[in-house]
Structure 1
Amino acid sequence: MELEVRHLRALCAIADAGSLHKAARQLGISQPSLTTQLRRIESSLGAPLFSRDRTGCLPTPLGRSVLNRARPLIADLAALVTETRAAASRAEGPALRVGSTASRALPGWLRRLRRRFPGTEVGLRVDVSAGALLRTVAEGRLDVAFVHEVEGFPLRVPPGLRERVLVAREPQFVSLARDHPAAARPVVDLAELAADHWMVDPSVDGEWDGLRRVLGAAGIDPPVLHGDYLTAASLVVLGEAVAPCQPTSGPRDDMAIRPLRGDPLAVRLLLYGRPGIALDALYADLADAYREAARQAAPYRAWLHGQGLSEPCLTGP
């Protein structure tokens, strides 16, 4: 077996993520596929490149040596691809490359961007990892990224990116089945959910750490399931789990969205752009789209009213 660029990318992803699960999500493949690929690479080289245990993956001395050689090769190739794509974009016409973590404000933002920049091709990449999106902006493969940062777990921001804070503290709500006893109340205490299975996506940067800290501070240790939020929604509807969610989450007949008393879970909403991008104009459209999403979410409107607010407190450019 000969090493290919995709193999080197896989090794770097495993080292950066610290686990096969997170690396597989970032690479867009299944964990068993990545595990098989790593075994073939190690078999080809004749020695293990990572030590693996229940806490994750760490490079062995040989692994560090391979990574030190692989990273410059990948960086050079990425620069070549970026420069080639930039040249092609100039030839084909203007383009705006947008990245985002999941958000109900995203459709409205894209609609406004296309209206603001007629004739510009607005591309989109959605990723669960804010860190991966920021690295992609730094590499020149995206122009801007709209991301969230879990409170208490700051993102690693590559140098040179420009930042705008959209919301300094957005409370995170909880989704639960319509017939859950706590759903009958407008605000839910964490203690009411102590016996429920909580579901969280560990590949979302800081998500599991933030939830674990909040639950621990509340003195509860409920069973936790790890999985993506599409699966979480299915389990929530069936009453098999509860899950943290954005306050702008859309209404569903089979699911209740409720704020948590005291708002213990929160994130910062951030917009990052590479140098030379008209970030203020992009921020203005994003702010309008976020306000629109907030108005459409009845639980969020009720929460804002309880805070004496008619709309979300946006930080401004």
Structure 2
Amino acid sequence: MELELRHLRIMCAIAELGSITKAANTLGMAQPALTAQLKRIERTLGGKLFLRDHTGTRPTALGLLVLDRAKMVLPAVSSLHDEAARLAQHAGTGEPVTLRLGSATGPMLGALLQRLGTTHPDIHVATHTSWSANKLADMTAEGALDFAFVGVCGDAGPPPEPGLRWRTLAHHPVFVLMSARDERAQQNEVELGALADERWCATPGDGCFGDCFASACARSGFTPRSLYETDVLTCIEMVESGHAVVLCQPLFHEIPGIVAVPIAGNPLSWRNLVGWSERGEMGPFAAEMIALSRAVYGELIDRRPTYSKYLELNPGYGVDYTDAGVG
């Protein structure tokens, strides 16, 4: 006899109720039939699964092992049934059953997940985050991701991965995060050259941003003392302590004691892109994903009054509603 799912359910019922008689009643079986079935399961597994005494029925060491596995297998099978039913229900509707999203774009992903949960509650969404736009592009081309959300510097092209299509979602100037204690943070903008003596921080990336930053500094007449690449929390700590200033997108969530200040002349900018495989199955859903993503960027901008006011004076930035592809 081979072990089946119904055998695992029998064991779980016995363990939960602590009684073969109670388990038989719950399962709608005669107690002798359940006892006989349990003996067949024990012969298959090679040992006793339960001990019976005056306190009831309790699992043996072998029984505990099997029950631990059953607690993983049974929910997984139930989930598989649910996913299969949803797939059958959605077949032909053009709406995917699952979405695998990769992101390196900061606050956008959380807002997009909320929007997808509202507009497409039946879609199961899995996420993967990485600082590397090239890695996310590779995963999308290989079919491990359905959509990749990445950022590129200025007018740079998308990651050079063949077989991907890209759309621009938004275009932002690069701001600088400064301690609110710094009097320059109270200005409407700060000259890049005025920050020549500062230490600098930025989150990691594999594009040309570091080179573009160095070039912008050279045009302003200085060479930056340093550019630390580190995680977001460390960047915030460095700014709060006044030890460094941080290059950031203007969608950065406002934090007490820290101010995002525009850099005069906008010497650096950042474009947010979404990419998907030309050979994948998500082509029909790409237009929907682009529209949802642009709407999310619009909402994020609306939540940042300082940046919203900035865009009134600088209309070339913000959400990009053009349909032209890149790369």
TM-score tier by shorter-chain length is 0.5 to 0.7
User: How far apart are the structure 2 equivalents of 1:143 and 1:133?
Assistant: 10
User: How far apart are the structure 1 equivalents of 2:150 and 2:219?
Assistant: 26
String of CA shifts for 1:193-223, please: whole Å, max 9, x gaps.
1111111344443232221121122111121
What count of residue pairs does the alignment treat as equivalent? 229
Does the 8 Å CA contact 1:99/1:127 hold for their aligned counterparts? yes
**Pairwise CA distance, 1:307:** 2.3
Does the 8 Å CA contact 1:202/1:208 hold for their aligned counterparts? no
User: How far apart are the structure 2 equivalents of 1:112 and 1:162?
Assistant: 23
Give the match for residue 215 of structure 1.
217
The normalised TM-score by structure 1 is 0.67
Does the 8 Å CA contact 2:158/2:166 hold for their aligned counterparts? no
Where do residues 1-317 of structure 1 align in structure 2 (5 Å cutoff)?
91=84, 93=87, 94-151=97-154, 153-167=156-170, 169-228=171-230, 229-275=232-278, 276-277=281-282, 278-307=285-314, 312-317=318-323
Any idea what SS the aligned residue of 1:222 has?
coil
**CA 151–307 in structure 1, closer or farther in 2 if over 3 Å, else same:** closer
Does the 8 Å CA contact 2:202/2:227 hold for their aligned counterparts? yes
User: How far apart are the structure 2 equivalents of 1:132 and 1:199?
Assistant: 22
**Paired residue type of 1:243:** V
**Paired residue type of 1:244:** L
User: How far apart are the structure 1 equivalents of 2:205 and 2:272?
Assistant: 18
Any idea what SS the aligned residue of 2:157 has?
coil
String of CA shifts for 1:220-259, please: whole Å, max 9, x gaps.
1121142313211110111000011011111111101011
User: How far apart are the structure 1 equivalents of 2:103 and 2:263?
Assistant: 25
Give the match for residue 78 of structure 1.
none
The normalised TM-score by structure 2 is 0.65
Give the match for residue 84 of structure 1.
none
- The structure with the largest alpha-carbon Rg is 2
**CA 216–114 in structure 1, closer or farther in 2 if over 3 Å, else same:** same
**Pairwise CA distance, 1:180:** 1.2
**CA 96–313 in structure 1, closer or farther in 2 if over 3 Å, else same:** closer
Any idea what SS the aligned residue of 1:124 has?
strand
Any idea what SS the aligned residue of 1:236 has?
helix
Using the aligned pairs only, state the percent identity: 27
RMSD: 2.3
User: How far apart are the structure 2 equivalents of 1:215 and 1:283?
Assistant: 34
**CA 138–248 in structure 1, closer or farther in 2 if over 3 Å, else same:** same
Any idea what SS the aligned residue of 1:279 has?
helix
User: How far apart are the structure 2 equivalents of 1:143 and 1:224?
Assistant: 37
**Pairwise CA distance, 1:89:** 11
Does the 8 Å CA contact 1:173/1:257 hold for their aligned counterparts? yes
**Pairwise CA distance, 1:115:** 2.7
